[in-house]
Amino acid sequence: MVDVRTCESVCVGHPDKVCDQIADQILDDLLRTDPVARVAVEVMTAGRRIIVTDEITTSARLRIRESVREALCRIGYNPNRFLVYVWTRKQSPDIAAGGSTSLEAPEGNTSAFALQGAGDQGTVYDYAINKASERLPLPLVLSHEICRRLDTARVEGTIHGRAAEVRSGGLGMTVVGRQGMGPTFPRALPRLIPWLPSNPWRRFFHP
């Protein structure tokens, strides 16, 4: 049986990945000052506007705009060309009630587990496959690696001019292999679709 898989990866400056990196930067900066901070931020981009919203409970001084600018600089964008909007509030009392202490705490249970509470986290179930040594689908592994090398080439100056705008591009790849329980042995790469922004001033938009 033939096994056809298509996966996609994006470069460091793609809007989706930019949002992830900004959220990570905000979280890292807050935890560095307040290790017990509760951070649930959502980041959105629209053109040259960046919006940070949701709930943050911390004893640290919020420096969200500074975190956003630091992330943009690391990616390679000029932070002075972006408008940053911040709308955050403290964690909802309803969520904090279950996250700060457990239901057993009011009954007199003072154990570490009772005082710790449930937290405000979700559980994500996933699975691994043996199609590649990374335990991920082969086209995804290859797409990630190509995008990683494109990012490295841009930073090191290997590519210049319009090609340097690859930071906000991506790559789609299709692999045809033999279906089975073991590793995938590629038989063909019928589709390899890279995309770049057509205009450097529109690098935050999908082409």
Query: What average pLDDT does range 82-94 have in this prediction?
Result: 86
How deeply is 111 buried, as exposed, middle or buried, from its count of CB atoms within 10 A (0-12, 13-18, 19+)? exposed
Sign of torsion over alpha carbons 131, 136, 138, 142? negative
Tokens standing for 51? 């919006």
Calpha distance 79→20 (Å, rounded)? 16
Q: How high is the pLDDT of residue 103?
A: 55
Residue written as tokens 């496959």?
129
> How many other CB atoms are found less than 10 A from the CB of residue 34?
15
Q: Which residues contact 177 (CB under 8 A, 6 or more apart)?
A: 2, 3, 5, 131, 138, 184, 185, 186, 187
Q: How high is the pLDDT of residue 204?
A: 40
Q: What is the pTM of this model?
A: 0.71
Residue 202 pLDDT grade (very low, low, confident, very high; cuts 50, 70, 90): very low
Say which residue, 168 or 50, is predicted with more confidence: 50
pLDDT tens sequence across 25-69: 999 999 999 988 888 899 999 889 999 999 898 888 899 999 999
Say which residue, 25 or 105, is predicted with more confidence: 25
* Domains, in order of start, for the chain: 2-13+127-200 (no CATH), 15-116 (3.30.300.10)
N-term to C-term CA, the chain = 35
Beta-sheet pairing, 49-57 with 83-89 = parallel
